[in-house]
Amino acid sequence: MFDILIKNANLVTSEKIKLGSLAIKDGKIIDILFDNCEVNSKIIIDGTGKYLFPGLIDAHAHLNEPGFTTREDFYHGTRAAAVGGVTTVIDMPMQNEPALYSKDIFLSKEACVSSKAYIDYSFYGALVTYNLNNLEELNSCGTVAFKSFFAPVSPDYTPLNTGEIRTALSIIRKFDGLASFHCEDYNIITYEQNKAIKESRLGRRDFLNSRPVVAELIAVKNIIELSKEQDCRVHICHVSHPVVAEEIKKAKIDGVRITAETCPHYLIFDENDFLAKGAIFKCAPPLRTSKDKEKLIDYVCDGTIDMIVSDHSPCAPEEKSEDMGIFNAWGGISGIQTGLQTMYDYLVVKKGISPSLISKVMSTNPAKHFGIDKKKGSLKIGADADIVLLDPNKEWNITCDSLKYLNKQSAFVGLEGTGLPVLTILRGKIISENGCITKNTPYGQLIKRKL
């Protein structure tokens, strides 16, 4: 007797789509049936006409707990994720009090969030100037990757210089870890920002000009060279521009152990949205031109960009205000809930691309590269029964009210499209149905990197 049988759905793996029925027992995928035989199951769900994906893995989100819970917290962020079809989130180590730089902080963060998570979660570790001696212990407790910046994020999130990055990669290589980078050259940005402020050029266009593509490109080239020399796996966060993607493509051909991600906002929006509507569209790197945006998708399709992540980066409403100027407004877009529906509409409905690409870049690849693919990111028998069912005919319109975030604001509000997640299952239990959380007690758990 199965616990749940989802009958006659289009099963979407990263390679193909096949009509079949998926059986779940004890939290695992236990069988996949391709003929219409009679089977016993406690719950039978009709999947006719729907796409069944492995639960999404959002490999880049800021849930801000502990410490910054006026912006977002695990309770709201993971409920939003569940409604959107995400079953595992990889949470970032900054906007965390303190930054997640040691084993003790890893353990206290886990104790803090474990009773609030509606989906499973993994932790990024910090990679800052003062924790190079902690990287190994962080890896031992299950940290999936380490995040570093070229520019200061907060007083305790210090940027590494290239010498320090080189040393960090030599350490991370020893345990075959993954070092991730926000790639924007600090020298260019601070120089341009200071100049703009001094000359009172404080408009939206001035902000865009202060973060040119070349800043992103220089930072990525540095990481490529350091990765090549140190033979350490590196990951480029939120690639915003095709020129940057082209550099990553060349590095991959050269054998550099590099992976990359982009976000729905870089594929759907462009600088005109930011120029017209302001801070709600502010992110870093910034939105690029509509021509750049159109080209970026080619690099997702050809495998250069390995994954699409939300970079869910919420804030309190007053932090998005432009009263103190666009340079001071919060940079970050909330999107953990809307990734699947917006990418289904953009990739499948509008571009005619196979839904398999969604499975690949939003589930299978993140699981593989972040080392959690033993249990996550596939429809294989024995894997965790993390499932999302999408109705391709359901039309949607994103409203503030439909968002489960603590702060119901997002650049995606107002967007319309077709194809909506209607059922999310986490380890064999239905956690969300038709936009509502169905499981009152959160039971998300920590997923450690396999060692």
Residues of this chain that interact with Zn ion (CB under 5 A) are 311
Q: What is the smallest separation between the CB atom of 443 and Zn ion, expressed in angstroms?
A: 26
Q: Say if residue 392 is preceded by a cis peptide, omega within 30 of 0.
A: no
Nearest by Cα to 384 from 434, 339, 429: 429
Angstrom distance (rounded) from CA 211 to CA 191: 10
b/e sequence 85-122, b meaning 16+ C-beta within 10 Å: bbbbbbbbbbbbbbbbbbbebbeebbeebeebbbbbbb
Q: What is the smallest separation between the CB atom of 204 and Zn ion, expressed in angstroms?
A: 21
Give the largest CA-CA distance in the chain: 75
Q: What is the smallest separation between the CB atom of 338 and Zn ion, expressed in angstroms?
A: 16
What residues have CB less than 8 Å from 155, skipping those under 6 apart? none
Q: Which residue is nearest to Zn ion (CB)?
A: 311
Q: Please say whether the beta carbons of 335 and 83 come within 8 A.
A: no
Q: What is the smallest separation between the CB atom of 327 and Zn ion, expressed in angstroms?
A: 19
Nearer to Zn ion, 270 or 311 (CB): 311
Nearer to Zn ion, 271 or 311 (CB): 311
CA dihedral 92, 376, 441, 47 (to 10 degrees): 130
Q: What is the smallest separation between the CB atom of 236 and Zn ion, expressed in angstroms?
A: 12
Structure tokens at 425: 């299952």
Nearer to Zn ion, 217 or 237 (CB): 237
Nearer to Zn ion, 61 or 361 (CB): 61
Angstrom distance (rounded) from CA 377 to CA 431: 17
Nearer to Zn ion, 61 or 300 (CB): 61
- The 3-class secondary structure across 77-103, one letter per residue, is HHHHHHHCCEEEEEECCCCCCCCCCCH
Nearer to Zn ion, 181 or 274 (CB): 181
Nearer to Zn ion, 313 or 364 (CB): 313
Q: What is the smallest separation between the CB atom of 363 and Zn ion, expressed in angstroms?
A: 20
The answer to whether the Cα torsion of 127, 128, 129, 133 is positive or negative is: negative
Q: What is the smallest separation between the CB atom of 71 and Zn ion, expressed in angstroms?
A: 12
